[in-house]
A and B are shown apart, each in its own frame.
Chain A
Amino acid sequence: MRIPLSWLAEYVDLSGIAPTDVAARLTFSGTEVEGIETIGASCPGVVAADVRAIAKHPNADRLRLVRVFDGTAEMEVVCGASNFEAGARVALARLGVTLPNGLTIAATKIRGVSSSAMLCAADELGVSDDHSGLLLLPPDTAPGTPLAEVLGLPETVLVVEVTPNRPDCLSLIGIARELAALCGRNVRRPELEFAAAGAPIGERVRVSVEDPARCPRYTARLLDGARSAPSPLWMQRRLRAAGVRPISNLVDVTNYVMLECGQPLHAFDLRMLKESRIVVRRAAAGESLRTLDATAHALTPEMLVIADGAHPVALAGIMGGAESGIADDTTTVLIESACFEPTGIRATVKAVGLASESSYRFERGVDIGNCEWASRRAAQLMAQLSGATVAPGVLDCYPVPPAPRPVAMRWERAQALLGIPLESREMMAIFKALELPVAGATDAGCTVAVPSFRVDLEQEVDLIEEVARVHGLDKIPAPAPVARLVPGADDRPSRSREQLRARLAGLGLDEAMNYSFVSERLLGLCQVGDPATRVKLPNPISADHTILRDSLLPQMIETLGRNKARQVTAAALFEIGRVFSRGTGGVYQEEERLAIGLLGPVGRGGIVSRAPVTAEEVFGALKGVVEAIWSAQRLPVREIAGMRRPAVDWIGCDGPLFEAGQALTILLDGQPVGRLGVVSRAVRAEWRMTEPIAVLEMAVAPLLAHALDVPAARPLPAYPPVARDLAFVVADAVRHEDVVATLLQAAPKELVDIRLFDVFRGDAIGAGRKSMAYALTYRAAHKTLTDEETNRMHESVMQAVSKGLHAEIRAG
């Protein structure tokens, strides 16, 4: 809402307080001032000019040559606006003048005609943002009068953001009331005095409210003999500064009074009301209404309308009808000042897709106690500005005036909640300043009779908040914190997760973060997850974000692809995030997952070799990360032949996302918890990635379950180890895991370590075969092994490998 300070000064004396201070007081009491604007910077060099003659531009249809007199000389100006004729008074910027928008007037030729001045629109002068035509000055303005003198510029305007709970601040008087309380001043309300004459309204108009729930109060007042004309300049100026376009005196008054006191008003031309009747009722099915903005609306029985004896003439509280409103020849005006229930207004606004300054206020709550005052105020101004006579009386349908709501507040409670020893008389003073009558006070507390303009005050804490914000939050101390522990609080899950991140980073991976939304296309490309269980967004914000991700992999691959496209040659990324799906019966499910993606020679440190990255290398790097993380997060281990390894199994993993045979599923206690593999060429092709990349996705829960377990220290062995190497040639199809299995099966308990130290293929060995070399360690628990004992054991191991794997043992 826009608050012109010179207008505000009508209602509260702010002399001696700088605009920035006024703004600060409002902001720090809860009505945030978002900006302080100065409009119509005095505009030196802009004067009123008389339009003497208008001619067509010889070379342009939409331009006119305007002959103007600026008080000293006549000149010709090229002008694109057409909202004026000869005899009008317009604002002329002379040569060399710089306008508030930064434009400096220079002599130019426009389509071949020279022009050495400019006729200005309101926005160019900073008067308002109106650019629909020239700013028209009152016709009796003397040519040559400086614009600042005509318009009373400049004006300071506060732009305030009123929170939804404070509709009373959607008016100048409401803001004045706040400032009066904050600055220790008084609110001044306009004196309402006018003469009434003629037949009383009660004899000429009938008002009936058929739905008092939706319209708890309706007042009508009548004026005769009005003459429509432009409003006086002072009113136009105020409306413009407040952001409302002046139209004519009668319409302007309704807007003026709404801005002044917050009560939306509507003015009907009585001639257009059939049977001189106002009926506040629900619309009948099939009825329709064309509103002031010239759009037609089909009405439904959920909508409240103002009708005359026959048809709807206004959408109650939202907008008047096009036919029944004020016209240039209107003489008899019926002023509606009513209160409509917020929920109904909101529903109708939504249904018809039409909102207004009026509906905005009704949706938040208009002061039902103020309807009659606003009506009188409008009548007074209309009479004053249009020469109309007010008919005696008012029709006021107000069946159940609400009683003031008593709300009690305990002094001690306020002091305890705020943490300040504020005295009761100080709190009472705050209520008084806010025009909140204190109905009774004791040593324990007081009761406030909440007036109708404060719809937000319902309970004790609401009053405490009034105390806090007027007294000043800055006066509440900010003591050093006191730590208090909550028994049983468990921080292990979050510590485990933090540890997981730290360990992954420690292994050289960078944490990535993707949105929770993915596109159908990306999922289709990667073919992960199950389309049947995906969570689709009914109202997505863009085509790229239509589905809640059910896997982290598509975005991980996309991320690597995007990096590759930016010539990033190596990336090791991880992401921890939630995935979503629908379980049995459509139940929404979410699970936290870890994804890892490797691109390029990420495992190579130091002198980075240019050798192309093979699928085996990138897969091996990823598998190494996974194994390291398992042990770091203390996944359960099982001990086989003295060797401790994660209690995890790998099985082959198929699927279009991975290269055939280059992916594994991870089994924990026989249950799949994740998978890793080399991304298939077909998927990589989307990002033109020719080199292999490897990705992993697994559930996070198993990585957290034991993360903080304390491992038992193990005693160091008492007897020395004996090392033996085992080298052999086998068929390519024999895998490391097969060798280990064979070794373990044959191994005596003294075999305590198996390490692969070389795999070699080459011409010397022959096609389809490879050489593998293992370092084996033997150790006995209770004695030192002799060479003979060790040789015997090693011999049996060699035989097992030789027979079991058809291996040809090489001399070691």
Chain B
Amino acid sequence: MNVQELMAVQTQALAEVADAGAPAELEAVRVRYLGRKGQLQTIMESLKSALPADRPALGRAVNELKQSLTAALEARKAVLDAAADAGKTSAWDATLPGSWRRVGSIHPVSQVIAEAIRIFARLGFTVADGPDIEDEYHNFDALNTPAHHPSRDTQDTFWLEGRRLLRTQTSPVQIRVMESQPPPVRIIAPGRCYRRDTADATHGANFHQIEGLYVDRTVSMADLKGDITYFAREMMGADINVRFRPHFFPFTEPSVEYDFSCHVCHGTGCRVCKQSGWIEISGCGMVNPKVFRRVGYDPETVTGYAFGMGVERIAMIKYGIEDIRLLYDNDARWLEALA
């Protein structure tokens, strides 16, 4: 046995390790070379018969053979084991649906109300509340509604007994708040309102409004414009513009209607805004001194603004809902999609 022959054995053994395709084959290779009756043992024994001068070199070569073979066996074993593990994981399906519950959705009307509360809270407004079943005084008289105003008709209003009625607007909350506290006042009052409208794509017999009222020493129309514009941009997007048109409401003077620029076409005209570039939102104005006098506020020392807005209308614009009745249809699939 000489060094060349030992090198040939090494080459052969390493090739057999590399060819082993399964752990059992690899083990057979190990036994063949390193086993108690393996080839290396035979070589070791044959060394005893070698020339003394050759022994050190042959000994080094045998050691080297043993080390490299052991290392190769270990490396190959790691590869084969990893492959075997990989084979095992194929039975484990990570694409199965997760088993935790989905999160539900909050109704668009509630979302818009919550969003409005959040926006106005930043300006210092807090939420006020009033009953759905109102009296004529708070719903009409105190708001300076003329005695013969058509909104008082049984045609338009759900009257109950004793001159009680289902409030037609959230404005009576203004009155209730001012009756109960001195100025300053900064409130918004979301709530349900009722009118005898036949249901269609944009009307329902009940709907939601958000009323806002700000009374202090020097509240001006500029404040009203600034605050409404801020609200519009927070609610609908930073690029929204607001325009104001003079109008008439008995409880404000001057009275104004306000429109948002169309968030879909940005003012160039589209189906959503009926080609006008603007979407009519609601009314606002400076609180009429007659209303202040009714609640015992002195119109010489305080001024204020009030605004209203239809919640369903904003929800429909924001969520792209074409028929108001969908908001009250409660189809679970429709609601789930809003989560």
Contacts from A to B (Cβ < 8 Å):
27-30, 32, 163-166, 342-343, 346, 363, 416-420, 459-462, 464-465, 468-469, 473-474, 476-486, 489-491, 493-494, 498, 501-502, 504-517, 535, 537-541, 545, 548, 559, 562-563, 566, 568, 570-574, 576-578, 580, 586, 588, 590, 599, 603, 605-607
Known contacts A416-B220, A478-B242; decide if A502 and B289 are in contact (CB<8 Å). no
Contacts of A464 in B (CB 8 A): 253-254
Give the 8 A-B residue pairs with the shortest CB-CB distance, closest first. A419-B222, A606-B99, A419-B220, A30-B246, A571-B332, A163-B248, A465-B254, A478-B225
Task: Tell me the smallest distance from the CB of A499 to a CB of chain B, in Å.
Answer: 11
**Which stretch from B3-11, B62-70, B121-129 is at the chain A interface?**
B121-129
Tell me whether B332 and A510 are in contact (CB under 8 A): yes
B297 CB contacts on chain A under 8 angstroms: none
The answer to whether residues A516 and B194 also contact, given A468-B221, A483-B122 and a CB cut-off of 8 A, is yes
Roughly how many angstroms separate A401 CA and B240 CA in the complex, as a whole number? 52
A605 engages B246 (CB within 8 Å): no
B294 at the A/B interface (Cβ < 8 Å)?
no
Of B15-23, B79-87, B159-167, B261-269, the segment with at least 4 beta carbons within 8 Å of chain A is B159-167
- Can you list 24 A-B contacts (CB < 8 A)? A30-B246, A165-B248, A363-B148, A417-B220, A418-B221, A419-B223, A465-B253, A465-B255, A469-B246, A473-B221, A477-B222, A483-B124, A484-B184, A484-B216, A486-B184, A489-B186, A491-B127, A505-B104, A515-B328, A539-B158, A562-B330, A574-B104, A590-B132, A606-B99
**A416 cross-chain contacts in B, Cβ below 8 A:** 218, 220, 303
Measured between beta carbons, the chain B residues less than 8 angstroms from A511 are 104-107, 110, 335
Q: Is the CB of B101 within 8 A of A513?
A: no
Stretch at the interface among B30-38, B40-48, B198-206: B198-206
How far does the alpha carbon of A516 sit from the alpha carbon of B107 in the complex, in Å?
16
Contacts of A490 in B (CB 8 A): 126
Select A504's contact among B104, B242, B338, beta carbons within 8 Å. B104
Partner of A501, one of B97, B100, B106: B106
User: Which residue of B109, B124, B204 contacts A485 across the interface (Cβ within 8 Å)?
Assistant: B124
**Are A538 and B159 in contact, with the CB atoms below 8 A?**
yes
The answer to whether B330 and A559 have CB atoms under 8 Å apart is yes
Is the CB of B270 closer than 8 A to any CB of chain A? no
Contact A568 B245 (CB under 8 A): no
Q: Are the CB atoms of B105 and A510 closer together than 8 Å?
A: yes
B2 contacts the other chain (CB 8 A): no
Residue B235, interface by CB 8 Å: no
Chain A residues within 8 Å of B99, by CB: 605-607
The complex places the Cα of A508 from the Cα of B106 at a distance, in Å, of 10
Q: Is the interface of B mostly helix, strand, loop or mixed?
A: mixed
Q: In the complex, which residues of chain A have a beta carbon less than 8 angstroms from the beta carbon of B127?
A: 491, 493-494
Inter-chain contact B160/A538, CB cutoff 8 Å: yes
Q: How far is the CA of A541 from the CA of B203 in the complex (A)?
A: 13
Determine which of B97, B131, B248, B253 lies in contact with A461 in the assembled complex, contact meaning CB atoms within 8 Å. Answer: B253
Q: Which of A481, A501, A502, A538 has the most CB of B within 10 A?
A: A481
The answer, yes or no, to whether B271 is at the interface (CB within 8 Å) is: no
CA distance A571 to B335 in the complex (A): 10
Specify which of B106, B226, B330, B338 is in contact with A514 (CB 8 Å cutoff): B330
On whether the beta carbons of B97 and A607 are closer than 8 Å, the reply is: yes
* Known contacts A505-B105, A537-B158, A559-B330, then 16 further A-B pairs from the complex at CB < 8 Å, ordered by chain A residue: A30-B245, A30-B247, A416-B218, A419-B221, A459-B253, A465-B254, A469-B254, A473-B225, A478-B229, A483-B122, A510-B338, A513-B328, A516-B192, A541-B197, A568-B331, A572-B332
How many positions in chain B have a CB within 8 Å of any CB in the partner chain?
85
Question: Does the CB pair A603–B101 fall under 8 Å?
Answer: yes
A416–B303 Cα distance when bound, in Å, is 9
Contact B103 A461 (CB under 8 A): no
A537 contact set on B, CB distance < 8 A: 158, 160
B14 within 8 A of A: no
Chain B residues with Cβ under 8 A from A459's Cβ?
253, 289-290
Most buried by B among A164, A363, A489, A490: A489
A residues near B133, Cβ cutoff 8 Å? 535, 580, 588, 590
| Among A468, A480, A603, contact of B254 (Cβ-Cβ < 8 Å) | A468
A570→B226 CA distance, assembly (Å): 46
Please, how many angstroms separate the alpha-carbon atoms of A342 and B109 in the complex? 41
A590 to B134 Cα, complex, angstroms: 11
Q: Are B104's CB and A510's CB within 8 A?
A: yes
Bound CA–CA A191/B222 (angstroms): 44
Q: Are B159 and A539 in contact (CB under 8 A)?
A: yes
- Report the separation of the CA atoms of residues A70 and B182 in the bound assembly, to the nearest whole angstrom: 80
Q: Which residue of B lies closest to A491 (CB)?
A: B126
| Cβ of A345 to closest chain B Cβ, rounded Å | 10
Q: Contact between B230 and A480 (Cβ–Cβ < 8 Å)?
A: yes
> If A473-B244, A483-B124, A515-B205 touch, does A505 touch B106 (CB 8 Å cutoff)?
yes
In the assembled complex, the CB of B299 is this many whole angstroms from the nearest CB of chain A, namely: 8
Decide if A566 touches B331 in the complex (CB within 8 Å).
yes
Q: Is B114 an interface residue (CB 8 A)?
A: yes
Asked if B238 is at the interface of the complex by the 8 Å CB criterion, the answer is: no
| Min distance, Cβ A602 to any Cβ of chain B, angstroms | 9
Determine whether B52 belongs to the interface, using a CB cutoff of 8 Å to chain A. no
Q: Return B5 CB to nearest CB of chain A, in Å.
A: 64
Q: Which residues of B contact A605 (CB under 8 A)?
A: 97-102
B301 to chain A, nearest CB (A): 12
Return the chain A residue nearest B337 by Cβ: A510
Residues of B within 8 A of A468 (CB): 221, 246, 254
Say yes or no for B256: interface residue by CB 8 A criterion: yes
Are A506 and B104 in contact (CB-based, < 8 A)?
yes
> A507 contacts B104, CB within 8 Å?
yes
Using an 8 Å CB-CB cutoff, how does the interface string of B210-247 with A read, 1 for contact, 0 for none?
00000010101111011111100000000000111111
**B275 on the interface (CB 8 Å rule)?**
no
The verdict on B61 contacting chain A, using a C-beta distance below 8 Å, is no
Are B103 and A505 in contact, with the CB atoms below 8 A?
A: yes
* A566→B334 CA distance, assembly (Å): 12
The winner among A511, A570, A605, A607 for most chain B CB atoms within 10 A is A511
A507 and B256 CA atoms in complex are apart in Å by: 43
Q: Bound state CA distance, A258 and B223, in angstroms?
A: 42
Instruction: Tell me how far the C-beta of A351 lies from the nearest C-beta in chain B, rounded to whole angstroms.
Output: 13
CA distance A577 to B184 in the complex (A): 30
Q: Enumerate chain A residues within 8 angstroms of B196, measured Cβ to Cβ.
A: 539, 541
Pairwise interchain contact A509-B104, C-beta atoms closer than 8 A: yes
Complexed CA–CA distance, A211 and B32 (Å): 134
Interface check B174, CB cutoff 8 A: no
Q: In the assembled complex, which residues on chain A have CB atoms less than 8 Å from the CB atom of B164?
A: 588
- Kindly supply a per-residue 1/0 record for chain B positions 141-170, scoring 1 wherever the CB is within 8 Å of any chain A CB and 0 otherwise: 000000011000010001111101010000
Asked whether, in the complex, the Cβ of B129 is within 8 Å of the Cβ of A164, the reply is no
Contacts of B289 in A (CB 8 A): 459-461
**B107 in contact with A513 (CB, 8 Å):** yes
How long is the Cα–Cα vector from A572 to B117 in the complex, in angstroms? Answer: 27
**Interface pair A541/B198, CB less than 8 Å apart:** yes
> Chain B residues with Cβ under 8 A from A484's Cβ?
123-124, 184, 186, 216
Residues of B within 8 A of A545 (CB): 205
A568 near B248 with CB under 8 A, answer no
Q: Chain B: which residue is nearest A480 at the CB level?
A: B226
Q: Closest chain A residue to B105 by CB distance?
A: A510
Interface residue B286 (Cβ < 8 Å from any Cβ of A): yes
Asked if B88 lies at the interface with its beta carbon under 8 angstroms from chain A, I say no
Measured CB to CB, the closest approach of chain A to B212, in angstroms, equals 12
Closest B residue to A516 using CB positions: B206
- Within the complex, the shortest CB–CB distance from B337 to chain A, in Å, comes to 10
Which residues of B sit under 8 angstroms from A505, Cβ to Cβ? 103-106, 339
**A479-B226, A510-B104 as given contacts; A489 in contact with B110, CB under 8 Å:** no
The verdict on B91 contacting chain A, using a C-beta distance below 8 Å, is no
Known: A486-B126, A494-B117, A507-B104. A512 touches B335 (CB 8 A): yes
Complex interface: chain A residues within 8 A of B139 (CB): none
> In the complex, what distance in Å separates the CA atom of A502 from the CA atom of B339?
11
| Nearest neighbor of B214 in chain A, beta-carbon distance | A484
The CA-CA distance from A463 to B302 in the complex, in Å, is: 18
Closest to A538 in B: B159
Q: Which residues of A contact B184 (CB under 8 A)?
A: 484, 486
